Structure 1
Amino acid sequence: MQKVLMVYSTVDGQTKAICKRLQTHLEAQADVDLVSLEQVAQLELEAYQQIVVGASIRYGKFRPELFTFIEQNKAQLNNKKSSFFSVNVVARKPNKNTPQTNPYMKLFLQQSSWKPDSLAVFAGKIDYQKYTWFDRTMIRFIMWMTKGPTDVSGCYEFTDWNKVEQFAQTLMLNR
């Protein structure tokens, strides 16, 4: 059975939730290891035939550790079947929810030396009640500026789970 490594970088857990959904679909045909970006350094990437990386955006940026991981493993990532997906709330907008139209994906592709075989963009989640006062205030302000939800008593999940499942199908085909 083929081995797939799924690496996630998440701030509030939505990227991990998306990875778990992908893992559920892939496990029928592959042995899938799901690990956080912080844990991946302990693994031997040579053991995997496919690598999937998912990363979230916070305040307009990916975590710096994502790019460190890519630079340290560039040869492995570029020589195996590999996929990358971004999770961000900007992707809630129809004109910004594809790899070609999402500003964070476009920026990632400019900044990264890795050229994944497949790409995806998923809208994230806003859960005001989980945030610190600072994050709640900042995210509310960003949502106000971008015409998103600003009621801090709410939780707003924008992830299109059908789109996640479609991406899982492409991952199975890319193996």
Structure 2
Amino acid sequence: MSEHLLLYASHDGQTKKIAQAIAAELSQQGLIVQCQSINENAVVNLNHYNSVLIGSPIRYGHHLPEVFDFIRQHESFLNTHTSGFFSVNLTARKPEKNRPETNPYLQKFLSKITWKPGFTGVMAGSLLYSRYRWFDRVMIQLIMKMTGGNTDASKDIEYTDWTAVRQFAQDYAQYLISSTTCCKDGVECNKPVDA
């Protein structure tokens, strides 16, 4: 039976919530999914899985460093197996920037790595002022002011569109089901598709 791995990095908890929602939907689609934080110290044996989906939030304009470290360490596996990536960022709250091809953070990320995920997605995160330290709160308010976002530090705002998250999971499940196996030594390919 095929097993699929969903790895995520999360700074304030929203990417973890999104990853868990994706895993739940994939399970509803009949797939066996292991959902785990990249931050956990557990050793991951990728050879146990038929696919890997990785998610990361943006922090001060960059995806988290542990995601880059994991990708560098496992690049060969990722490029020869069915895989995907999703980015969680506040820029995706804007309709014109909520698709993989229009989201600047995802495009910048893909240009920095040699892994070519076959399936990509973008989701809006949340603005959790109540959880931020003073410095982070002030910096994020400044970023929000510059980008036309909410600067009211008395409010936490969830921009995540949970319907879109479920749709992403359903589309990813279809991608997994339709992915083909290469004839080279039985190694599964990373078959690019339009997300």
* TM-score range for the pair, normalised by the shorter chain length: over 0.9
Length, aligned pairs only: 175
Q: Which residue of 1 aligns with 2:191?
A: none
1:23 Cα deviation (Å)? 0.8
Larger mean Cα displacement after TM superposition, 80-89 or 27-36? 27-36
Q: Give the distance between the partners of 1:102 and 1:141, measured in 2 at CA.
A: 21
Q: Which residue of 1 aligns with 2:180?
A: none
Q: How does 1:135-154 map to 2 (within 5 A)?
A: 135-154=136-155
Q: Which residue of 2 aligns with 1:27?
A: 27
1:39 Cα deviation (Å)? 2.7
- Asked if 2 retains the 8 angstrom alpha-carbon contact of 1:7 and 1:40, the reply is no
TM-score by length of 1: 0.96
* SS of equivalent residue, structure 2 residue 20: helix
Q: Which runs of 5+ in 1 are unaligned?
A: none
Report the AA paired with residue 15 of structure 2.
T
Q: Give the distance between the partners of 1:89 and 1:21, measured in 2 at CA.
A: 18
Q: Give the distance between the partners of 2:104 and 2:39, measured in 1 at CA.
A: 25
Report the AA paired with residue 80 of structure 2.
N
Q: Give the distance between the partners of 1:65 and 1:131, measured in 2 at CA.
A: 20
Q: Which residue of 1 aligns with 2:118?
A: 117
* SS of equivalent residue, structure 1 residue 27: helix
Q: How does 1:99-114 map to 2 (within 5 A)?
A: 99-114=100-115
1:80 to 2:78 alignment = no
1:103-161 Cα offsets, whole Å, 9 max, x none, are: 10010110011111110000110010111011111101111111100110101111111
1:76 Cα deviation (Å)? 1.0
1:166 to 2:167 alignment = yes
Q: Which residue of 1 aligns with 2:51?
A: 50
Structure with greater Cα Rg: 2
Q: Give the distance between the partners of 1:30 and 1:80, measured in 2 at CA.
A: 17
1:45-69 Cα offsets, whole Å, 9 max, x none, are: 0100011100000100112221111
1:6-53 Cα offsets, whole Å, 9 max, x none, are: 100111011110011011111131221111112376011010001110
Report the AA paired with residue 61 of structure 1.
H
Q: Give the distance between the partners of 1:154 and 1:65, measured in 2 at CA.
A: 29
Q: Give the distance between the partners of 2:41 and 2:75, measured in 1 at CA.
A: 14
Q: Give the distance between the partners of 1:26 and 1:100, measured in 2 at CA.
A: 24
Report the AA paired with residue 144 of structure 2.
M
* SS of equivalent residue, structure 2 residue 63: coil
1:7 to 2:7 alignment = yes
Q: How does 1:59-70 map to 2 (within 5 A)?
A: 59-70=60-71
TM-score by length of 2: 0.87
Q: Give the distance between the partners of 2:39 and 2:153, measured in 1 at CA.
A: 30
Q: Which runs of 5+ in 2 are unaligned?
A: 177-195
